[in-house]
Amino acid sequence: MRLIDEQVQAAARAQALDLRYPLTRDDFNPACLQLAALWERIFDSRPAACMLRSDCDAHLGAASRPDETSRAHGIVRPMSDFVKAILLGIVEGITEFLPISSTGHMILVGHWLEFPQPLAKTFDIFIQLGAILAVVFYFRARLRGLMASFQPRSALSHPAGLVMVAFIPAAAIGFLVHHAIEEHLERPVVVAGALVAGAVAIELVERKFRTPQTFSLETVTLRQAVIIGFAQCLALIPGVSRSAATIMGGLVAGLSLPVSAEFSFFLAMPTMAAASGYSLLKAIHTLSASDATLLATGFVVAMGVAWVVVAVFMRFIQTHSFRVFSIYRVLLGAAVLAFEFWR
């Protein structure tokens, strides 16, 4: 009995070291039961077999891990939080400024990765801040020029002042309905429906509004800024996409696609900064020094990826329509709906 007991302990230690994490009782019970059955056949000793089962449970119970998901085909290594942080940072960086809804993607990917709570909310804030800084860095020269030319007397005709005008509607409405949206709308089915509906809206707007009147940021009017501001309110629905709503709003208002995209990026700065700052104030009590590495990882990854995406996107829209984004939204939305209804 002692020999088998020592063999079980040695096997458990060896396999645990090989896999880099403790093993659950479920992972080893089949092996333990096989050893117990072998003991019964050789020595015809049921009490000893029962003792063997108990010993296996005792040795492995202390080494169990919290992840109790079943594994039908062998042992699957759990994804580390560090890898999840990198993946989420990449997703945020790619989707935040493309018309495909970063919030929708983060909800979908978050459901899949099962990032630990309550860290997930704080992590979302930090990767959004990283994405914001990417835009600031990319447009830094343009921003310096706009700030240098700003005069309070002409605020309602200056791009910087018009961006703040466009910021007000979503800020006010978002403050009032933020909790209701989090409670009722942050679900995969809602995201999928909004993705498909947004794709249809993009196609309709691009087909109907083909004759812009505004070809530079400096000639945007107050009326156009107000239209874009109210269009941004639609992005409060997860899956709509803030960039899609504001860029399409710009096209409806008469801006060319490049100017509409540029205005959308400038509008993203106060909008995302305000939303992230407000969320950070509410979640500041959850911050912990032990999470600093994960938060910093997501922040840096999101910032780097977002900077590349913004640079590529600004070149892309010079010669392309949004058709590819519409197709992607429909395919993703349909896939999510199919998964949700038939799982």
pLDDT tens digit at each of 343 positions of the chain: 554 455 545 555 555 444 444 444 444 455 555 545 544 554 444 444 444 444 444 444 444 444 444 444 444 445 788 899 999 999 999 999 999 999 889 888 887 887 766 788 889 999 999 999 999 999 999 999 999 999 998 899 999 999 999 999 999 999 999 889 989 998 999 999 999 999 999 999 999 998 999 999 999 999 999 999 999 999 999 999 999 999 999 999 999 999 999 999 999 999 999 999 998 998 888 888 888 999 999 999 999 999 999 999 999 999 999 999 999 999 999 999 998 888 7
Number of Cβ atoms within 10 Å of the Cβ of 164: 18
Give the structural domain span for 271. Answer: 81-342
Is residue 113 in some structural domain?
yes
Residue 156, pLDDT score: 94
Please tell me the pTM assigned to this model: 0.76
Residues 39 and 154 in one domain: no
Residue 67, pLDDT score: 45
Answer whether 99's CB lies under 8 Å from 243's CB: yes
Alpha-carbon Rg of the chain, whole angstroms? 27
Residue 63, pLDDT score: 44
Answer whether 59's CB lies under 8 Å from 9's CB: yes
* Tally of domains in the chain: 2
- Location of structure tokens 């949004």: 322
Is residue 161 in some structural domain?
yes
> Where is the domain boundary, 12, 33, 61?
61
Residues 93 and 223 in one domain: yes
Answer whether 333's CB lies under 8 Å from 162's CB: no
> Where is the domain boundary, 16, 33, 61?
61
Residues 323 and 294 in one domain: yes
Residues 219 and 147 in one domain: yes
> Where is the domain boundary, 61, 91, 108?
61
Is residue 210 in some structural domain?
yes
Residues 38 and 126 in one domain: no
Residues 220 and 319 in one domain: yes
Is residue 73 in some structural domain?
no
Is residue 21 in some structural domain?
yes
Residue 76, pLDDT score: 44
Residues 8 and 89 in one domain: no
- Location of structure tokens 């990417």: 134
Residues 215 and 129 in one domain: yes
Residues 88 and 229 in one domain: yes
Residues 24 and 127 in one domain: no
Residue 282, pLDDT score: 86
Residues 91 and 36 in one domain: no
Residues facing 255 on adjacent strands = 214
The whole-angstrom separation of Cα 63 and Cα 300 is 35
Residue 71, pLDDT score: 42
Residues 51 and 86 in one domain: no
Is residue 66 in some structural domain?
no
